[in-house]
Chain A
Amino acid sequence: MQERRQRNDLTISGMSTTSGGSYDYVTIDGMAKVTDSLDCLSLEVNGTLKMQGTLTAAERMTINGMGTIEGPVRSSRIRVDGMATLRGDVTGNEVEVNGRCKIEGRLEGERIQIDGSVTVRGNVECENFRANGNLNIEGLLNAEAVDIQLYTLSSVQEIGGERIDVRRTERGGFWKNIGFGGSPRLKAGIIEGDDVFLEDTEADTVRGARVFIGRGCKIRLVEYRETLDQDPEAKVASRRQI
C-alpha cells in the first residue's frame, strides 16, 4: 500500500498572498507574498516571491526569478539563478549562485559555488568554496579550500582556511576593452592559510606556512613559516619568517 502523503503541494501561478505553512512541493510561477514561515520539501520560484518568515526546504530551494526572504533559510540544496535577497542566516549543504544574491546574515554550507555575484554581511563557513564571479564578503570567509577566480573587483574582509588559491582569469579583448566591473582584483584585510597562492590581491596581512605571492599583488605584510615565493611583479612591503 502506498504511504499516504501527509502534506499537500502548493502552486501559485497568478498573484496571491498566503500565510505559509507546511507543504511538500511549492512552486511559484507568478507573484506570491508569504506572510509567515514556510516548511516544505522543495521551493521553486520562477516569478517573484516576498516572504516574511523562516524558510525550511528540506530537499532544495531554487530561485530563478526574484526572491526576498526576511527570515533564516535552511535547505539542503540552494540554487539562485535569478536575484535573491536573504535577510537572515542561510544554511545549506550545497549552495550555488549563478545570479545575484545578497545575504544579510551568515552563510553556512558544505560546498559553495559562486558563478554570479554574492554579497554577504556576516561570515561564510564551508568546506569547499569556489568563486568564478563577484564577491563581497564583509565577514570572515572560513573554508577548508578556497578557490577564487577573479573577474571583477571583489572584496573579502578576512579569509582563513587550509588552502587558499586566488587566481587571475585571462579574459578576452571584449570584456577587457569595456572594462566591465573594474579590473579584476581582490581586496582583503587578512588572509591566513597553510598553503596560500595569490594573484592580483591587495591585502593588509598574509600569514601562512607556504606562501606564494603572484603577479599583481600588493601586500603590506607577509608572515610565513616555511617558504615564501614572490613574483617579480608583486609588491610586498615587509616580510617576516616566524
Chain B
Amino acid sequence: MSEDLISKKELLDLTGISYGQLYRWKRKNLIPEEWFIRKSSFTGQETYFPRNQILPRIDKILNMKDGLSLDELADVFSPTLGEVQLDRHQLIDRNIVSESSLELFKEAGKEQPYYNLDQTLLLFVLEKLLKSGDITREEGKMLIGVLTEHYHHFSGKPCELVLIRKMGVPAFLLAGGGSELYFDSGVKVVLKLPMGQFTEELKLKIG
C-alpha cells in the first residue's frame, strides 16, 4: 500500500492557503511533524504530505479557526485526550454512542458505571464503525478486545486501526502512525483509519 502523497505546492494551490499559514500551523502543532515527508526530486527537495490526512485537516482548521484560537485548535488535534468521566446517559444524550453499541459492550463484559476517555473513545469508534456498516457485531467484539488490550501502548502517539479479512476471517490490528503494511494477495483491507480522526471528532462532541 503506497501512500497517496500530495506535494506542498499542490496543497497550497488546492486549498488556497499561504506559506505563512502552513508554517504557522506547523509551529502550533496543528499539522504534526511526521506528515512533512521530504523527498529529493530533480527539481530539488520537495515536501510531501499524506493526502487523505492533510486535506481534511486543513479543511477543519479553515472551518473552525474563526471560533477557536490556534492554541485551542491544537488541543483538539493533539492525539491525547484529557480527563473526562461520562455515564451511559450522558453518552447517549451527547450522541456519542447508541443503545445497541452499549449493549454490545455489555456483552463483551466491559460495562461500567462511568466511562473514562479511553473507554469513551473505544465506544465511539465502535459506534462509528457499526453504523457505517464496515464491521459486524462479532467483529465489534474483536475491536473492543484489541483497543482495550493495546491502545494504551500508543499513549499520545498517532496510530492507525486496520481491519483485514482473509477467506471471511477478520482480524484487527493497531499500527504505529505512518507505518507501511503489506499483505499477501488473499487479504482484503477493509479499513485503515487513523485513530486521531476519532479523537478529534470525539473531542468536538465532548468539548
Interface residues of A (CB under 8 A from B): 125-126, 142-144, 160-163, 189-190, 192-194, 204-205, 207-209, 220-221, 223, 242
Contacts and interface: CB of A to CB of B under 8 A. Distances in A.
A190 B43 CA distance: 12
B44 A142 contact: no
B44 A193 contact: no
A242 B12 CA distance: 11
A162 B44 contact: no
Chain B contact residues, majority secondary structure: helix
A209 B13 CA distance: 12
**Ranked 4 nearest A-B pairs via Cβ:** A162-B20, A160-B23, A194-B20, A205-B44
Given A189-B45, A204-B44, A221-B44, A161 B23 contact: yes
Nearest to A191: B19
A205 B45 contact: yes
B45 A161 contact: no
Contacts of A193: 19-20, 23
Interface of B: 9, 13, 18-24, 26-27, 43-45
Contacts of A205: 43-45
A106 to B, nearest CB: 10
A125 B20 contact: no
Given A190-B45, A220-B44, A209 B27 contact: no
Contacts of B22: 160
Given A189-B45, A190-B44, A207 B19 contact: yes
Contacts of B43: 205, 221
Nearest to B18: A194
Contacts of B44: 190, 204-205, 220-221
A242 B23 contact: no
Contact of A144 (B9, B13, B24, B45): B24
Contacts of A125: 27
A126 B44 CA distance: 26
A119 to B, nearest CB: 21
Given A162-B18, A162-B21, A207-B9, 19 more contacts: A125-B27, A142-B23, A142-B27, A143-B23, A144-B24, A160-B22, A160-B26, A161-B19, A161-B23, A162-B19, A162-B23, A189-B45, A190-B45, A192-B19, A193-B23, A204-B44, A205-B44, A205-B45, A223-B9
A208 B45 CA distance: 15
A100 to B, nearest CB: 26
Given A189-B45, A190-B44, A221-B44, A208 B19 contact: yes
B45 A204 contact: yes
Nearest to B29: A125
Contacts of A144: 20, 24
| From A142, A160, A194, A208, residue with most partner B Cβ within 10 Å | A160
Contacts of A242: 9, 13
Contacts of B21: 162
A223 B26 CA distance: 22
Contacts of B19: 160-162, 192-194, 207-209
